[in-house]
Amino acid sequence: METNDVQLEEILDGCRQNKRASQQRLYAHFYNYAMTIARRYMGNTEIAEEVVNDSFFKVFTKIHLFLGGQPFKPWLRRVIVNTAIDRLRANMNLAPETELQAWHDSGSLTGIEEELTREQIWAMLDRLPPAYRTVFNLAVVDCFSHEEIAAALQISVGASKSNLSRARQHLRTILKTEFEFFN
């Protein structure tokens, strides 16, 4: 379904008026986008679906906070990311805080990621511990600073840096052990 800016504004106006049809249209239009984001953070499709549903519930109940005339997608993305973080924080203990320790970068991944499918990348990210996967997604995919990550996850900046470093180490190990073209 292709939706232009005028149609999106009409849908959003309907959502502000609690019109069920508008809510269904918004959900249907942005479901795949929302699932892609939630899936990256949750590492599990079923839990990602719950995060998407919770996110849309928040969107529908907080739509009055969205200022018209601004892009909707970044606002929705922030709601989804924050909902995923809340879910992770509520349901699991993140890895214990440890300060960043020096480590040697064993090489660049330049070019390798071009050979991987989306499913292979998701599978590798799914194998990361939740704390590492969350920090990796926030830092690398969503471009959060370590200060923003620390505040969102209620950890120290050093723990954020450490978790990112360890996530990268884990991903390199997975690449080295499971993909012939990396060796």
CATH of the domain at 167: 1.10.10.10
Q: How many domains does the chain have?
A: 2
Q: Is 106 exposed, middle or buried (0-12, 13-18, 19+ CB in 10 A)?
A: exposed
91, 126, 142: which is the final residue of a domain? Answer: 91
From 116, 120, 141, select the one nearest 38 (Cα to Cα): 141
pLDDT digits (tens, 9 = 90+) for 130-176: 889 999 999 988 889 999 999 888 899 999 999 999 999 998 888 88
Q: What percent of the chain has pLDDT over 90?
A: 51
Q: Are residues 15 and 87 in the same domain?
A: yes
pTM beyond 0.75: no
User: Are 65 and 12 contacting, i.e. CB atoms less than 8 angstroms apart?
Assistant: no
| CATH code of the domain in which 21 resides | 1.10.1740.10
Q: Say yes or no to pLDDT of 181 above 70.
A: no
C-alpha to C-alpha distance for 12 and 65, rounded to whole angstroms: 12
Q: Considering the domain boundaries, does residue 99 fall inside one?
A: no
Domain around 162? 113-182
Residue 22 in domain: yes
The stretch 43-60 carries a mean pLDDT of: 94
Shared-domain flag, residues 87 and 9 = yes
For position 98, what pLDDT does the model report?
40
